[in-house]
Structure 1
Amino acid sequence: MLRAGMHFQVGELDSVVECCQRILLFDDKHTGAYFSLGLALHSLKRLPEAEAAYSAAFRIDPGHTKVVTQLTQLLMEQDRLADIGELLEAAIAHAPQDALLRYNLGLVFMKLGDDDAALRILETAIRINPRLSEAHVQMGLVHSGRNQYDAAIASLVCAMSLDTGNLNIVLRLALTYVEAGRLTEAIAVYERIIAAHPVDTDAHTALGICRLLLGDFRGGWPEYEWRLRTPYMAVPPTAVPRWKGEPLAGKTILLLAEQGFGDAVQFIRYAREIKARGATVILGCRPALSRLLAECEGVDHVVNEGDTAPPFNVEITLLSLPGVLGTTLETIPADVPYIRVPSGAGARAVAEIACCTGVLRVGLVWAGGFHTGSRHRNMVLQQFRDLLDIPGIKFFSLQKGEEAAQLADVDSELITDLAPYLGDFADTAAAIQTLDLVISVDTAVAHVAGALAKPVWTLIPFAPDWRWLLNRNDSPWYPTMRLFRQPAPGHWSSVIAHIAVQLTALVQEQTTTGKTVITDQISLRHFPPY
């Protein structure tokens, strides 16, 4: 084994394999030889042979911690979670008081989506070793995923007391406070983090989001600027200066879209004010938005992300504009519409909708793109099933992406799929313009409807994105939008029931008045506080 170790140190892996195999010819019970053989074969990417070697070592010595660790790693690389579970259960049978083995088994069940088993196993690990902070953290994550926030917070507080220097645990605790709607406590945690770590970008960004959610725009915008220093929100810089509010007359400015499609639609409203300051306005955005946003008031030229922009003097990201311009809750520029549908856009979708007369024509979106908060905001089509049966309404699906496949589970007579006709957001805007109402989760389609000044009902999770604020059913950003909020985490059924009542009232009013288009007055009339 000494010679095999020397070969390993200098990277002569084939020689390691040869040495170990020679040893095993004379001693087929040599755990160390099987383990070293597995390491060498693993490094050589000869995975089936490596697995066989590790497995042989495990059969000889099930208590060999390094063997279990390496075999687990090999199986993890192949995403073989069930096999990892079997391995760890076999190891636990030989070492029932090993808390770390149980902790790892709990992680496997978390990945498999079996939260009940994960909690049971993690609880056992903690009983064996109450100071295993990682197990407390994972318990917190499982509880959080089940909207059991009090239990999640208790687990994370315990983990934090055991591992006081672990900043990730503190950040996770603060986020859980946010998800639970306990913003005061979240802000206190973020402020403590910043006091100890003054340049922590995550804490500053999250603090900004909390303040914005509370309507404290003056306190929120400066902190929110820290997002541009985080790896997941950073916008690639250009060689020109950032605009900081100085005069723009005679200059060209590049506005850079960032984050999601909806963010770009919401904040392109500021192009009008920038244009009014005498600037030539170039917008950089993703191709799916370029045709629509080229029609936005104040935009002179659109360049697709990745293409070369015309010469410009200064630049700024779109979501930095309200901070530079000093936007407060009272001064949000909410004149709508501020985008127009391009000529000829969405012709086939428009024709499909236009042929349905004498009914309320409603567009539906139940899921957006996947990001950090998508678990809370996204729904499935079946959750809207009760709405589809309301007489006097024709539903049209504006849903795109993988989630559109859920239409296969619903009678096509109840909802028409427009996705084949929606190539970009200009086509989607044309469809929205033809509809009477849009019902959507928090996604880009809701923003497009609001920017077009079309009636839109947006379903908001209990812990909302900052832009929807708290305790109100309207939006200062979009006058024709009404918000339907979850009364508790995960509770969509009561939201759908409330929407069903409102839709039924609209159909009855349409029948009485003969109107086929929802006016702002009709929309407002049907929104008691919720």
Structure 2
Amino acid sequence: MAELAANEIDSALRWLEQAIDHDPEYASAYATLGDIYQRKNDLVEADYCLRMALRCSPDSSEILHKLARNCVALGSRPEALALLEEAKNRHSGSGVFLSQIALIYDDLDEIDLAIRAWEEVIALNPLDASAHNNLGLQWHYGKGDVNKASDCFMQALELNPCLTEARFNLYQAKADAGKVDEALAGFESMLAEPFREEVMFHRSVVLLKNRRFGDGWREYHLRWRYRGTQSRSFPFPAWDGQPCTGKTLLVYGEQGLGDEIMFSSCLKDLQDKTGAKIVLECNIRLENLFRRSFPDVLVIGRSRAQTGVDCLADVATIDFQTAIGDLPSIFRTEEAAFPNHRGYLEADPKRVTFWKNRLAALGDGPKIGISWRGGQGTTRREVRSIPLREWLPILATKGMHFVSLQYTDCRQELQTLEAQHGIVVHHWQEAIDDYDETAALVMALDRVITVCTSIVHLTGALGRPAWVLVPRVPEWRYLASGDTMPWYPSVRLFRQPRHGDWTPVLRHVAQRLVSAMP
């Protein structure tokens, strides 16, 4: 373990193997070997080690969790779920173990199974306040049902009035239910609690979501103290918002791909205000697009694994640094400060021509890009996604050619759609694998219809028309109400009126699509 802590991986492997030679039933050694092989991206060897660990310690929820995640990484999700179900049945009388299973289901984005597991925990112990609270989290963030979530949080507080987390979650649910002032007052009452800065950050998100930008941005910097945000730092002085003519200012990317696109709209304002040379460190998938779009900015792409300054050492002497998500607190403090732009990103003109020609070969009629799944397990995938089979009101529109912009593996879905309904959605993987190609394809399309995902930001930043299918409880970027996004004048929002019911939204969009035809 000391060698592993020193990043001496090969030496750590040898010591662990010796430990297993001495004790062939050493579960922790096998589990650590599994961790190492996962880091080395040898998932098959990791699978063997983790199975041996579980055989030696069959009641370890931690090892079970690691093995299940590894199975998913190997493309064997059904096997992962079978392992969890077997373990759940073996410990059906243990509320503690079932709670661990529920947390694993949540991590694997198996919301329905997580809900069922928490309900089983509560059936064993109806007085378990934490279980009620955790069940509420599944209904809120997993399913988007704020009413059921609120009931769970209130039940938790009846059982344990001192359960601070449940009170915090209740105010979050109230905000998403439209009871904004009540939620803000609740957050205010919690400012003496131990996790004060986390409360303040979430209060800022509620304010931003309700278009109160000046107040919202003021505490948005506290996201770095929130456990859900990956902190990034560089050894340079922080920029204090003042002009710094002749100096070099590093702006570093953060959060998701869409966030970097959204916040990059402030770069022109930053150049005008500071007079500094701007170095932009961004997601490597955006590097070419940003270099073309911001010719006066020195753009450096990175992979998510890069957190140091190695990639900056040979580029420039950095005088100051700032996170890209901090720029709106200076340049977007009111809705009138959002520019009425026609696009601030620029796709490769040659590739746009290529895709226009390829789309033209499909025949007459509008070419519509679609994306139906958004997010990851930790970013509310189920709430943000709409199964492709539910898109039939839109996809059955005559005279249209539909093009997939879906970035996850969707071949089976498209084949099933064609086999069952005779509807072809064209999918060119080369346009998905390279984000610069995606931008060129989006420029060539007549319109994009999508769920809440990074394609919204790309399309809006390119100035192309996008219709966005917004869930009942959206992320703050899509605001709590209204049909527009101040970030992107070309984007229109179509909101889900009720939790879990996309039918009226899809029918309305289909009708609008017909009326929009030339």
TM-score by length of 1: 0.75
1:468 to 464, 473, 478: 478
Where does residue 454 of structure 1 map in the other structure?
464
> Aligned in 2, Cα 1:298/1:208: closer, same or farther, shift over 3 Å?
farther
CA contact (8 A) 1:346 1:422 kept: no
Structure 1 gap ranges (5+): 1-13, 19-36, 56-69, 93-97, 511-530
Determine if the alignment matches structure 1 residue 271 to structure 2 residue 281.
Answer: no
> Aligned in 2, Cα 1:53/1:359: closer, same or farther, shift over 3 Å?
closer
Structure 2 CA distance, aligned partners of 1:105 and 1:240?
A: 43
Superposed CA offset, 1:484-524 (max 9, x none) = 111122221111010000011122xx1xxxxxxxxxxxxxx
Kindly state the Cα deviation for residue 118 of structure 1 after the two structures are TM-superposed: 3.8
Bigger relative contact order (CA 8 A; separation at least 6): 2
2:293 to 290, 293, 296: 296
Secondary structure of 1:400's aligned partner: coil
Structure 2 CA distance, aligned partners of 1:264 and 1:102?
A: 39
Structure 2 CA distance, aligned partners of 1:103 and 1:383?
A: 33
Where does residue 247 of structure 2 map in the other structure?
251
CA contact (8 A) 2:136 2:149 kept: yes
Kindly state the Cα deviation for residue 317 of structure 1 after the two structures are TM-superposed: 1.4
Identity of aligned residues (%): 25
Structure 2 gap ranges (5+): 1-17, 31-48, 69-82
Where does residue 482 of structure 1 map in the other structure?
492
Structure 2 CA distance, aligned partners of 1:262 and 1:275?
A: 21
Secondary structure of 2:249's aligned partner: strand
Superposed CA offset, 1:382-435 (max 9, x none) = 221221111111111111223455222222862110232344222111111111
> Aligned in 2, Cα 1:49/1:240: closer, same or farther, shift over 3 Å?
closer
Superposed CA offset, 1:205-263 (max 9, x none) = 21110001111111100111101233542442222222222113222222212111111
Determine if the alignment matches structure 1 residue 334 to structure 2 residue 322.
Answer: no
Where does residue 64 of structure 1 map in the other structure?
none
1:399 to 380, 393, 406: 406
CA contact (8 A) 2:144 2:473 kept: no
1:417 to 411, 417, 427: 427
Where does residue 197 of structure 2 map in the other structure?
201
The code of the aligned residue for 1:378 comes to: S
CA contact (8 A) 2:132 2:156 kept: yes
Where does residue 436 of structure 1 map in the other structure?
446
1:231-246 map, 5 Å: 231-246=227-242
Structure 2 CA distance, aligned partners of 1:329 and 1:142?
A: 33
> Aligned in 2, Cα 1:189/1:298: closer, same or farther, shift over 3 Å?
farther
Superposed CA offset, 1:304-323 (max 9, x none) = 12422422322211121111
Structure 1 CA distance, aligned partners of 2:406 and 2:486?
A: 26
1:223-234 map, 5 Å: 223-234=219-230
> Aligned in 2, Cα 1:233/1:103: closer, same or farther, shift over 3 Å?
closer
Where does residue 67 of structure 1 map in the other structure?
none
> Aligned in 2, Cα 1:405/1:327: closer, same or farther, shift over 3 Å?
farther
Structure 2 CA distance, aligned partners of 1:291 and 1:44?
A: 44
Where does residue 493 of structure 1 map in the other structure?
503
Kindly state the Cα deviation for residue 101 of structure 1 after the two structures are TM-superposed: 7.4
Structure 2 CA distance, aligned partners of 1:462 and 1:418?
A: 31
Kindly state the Cα deviation for residue 106 of structure 1 after the two structures are TM-superposed: 7.2
> Aligned in 2, Cα 1:359/1:168: closer, same or farther, shift over 3 Å?
same
> Aligned in 2, Cα 1:294/1:325: closer, same or farther, shift over 3 Å?
same
Secondary structure of 1:450's aligned partner: helix
Where does residue 415 of structure 2 map in the other structure?
408
Structure showing greater Rg: 1
Structure 2 CA distance, aligned partners of 1:50 and 1:425?
A: 40
State the superposition RMSD in angstroms.
Answer: 3.4
Secondary structure of 2:364's aligned partner: coil
The code of the aligned residue for 2:202 comes to: A
Determine if the alignment matches structure 1 residue 154 to structure 2 residue 148.
Answer: no
The code of the aligned residue for 1:390 comes to: T
Where does residue 172 of structure 1 map in the other structure?
169
Structure 2 CA distance, aligned partners of 1:101 and 1:233?
A: 28
Where does residue 91 of structure 2 map in the other structure?
88
Range 235-244 or range 407-416, more displaced = 407-416
CA contact (8 A) 1:178 1:463 kept: no
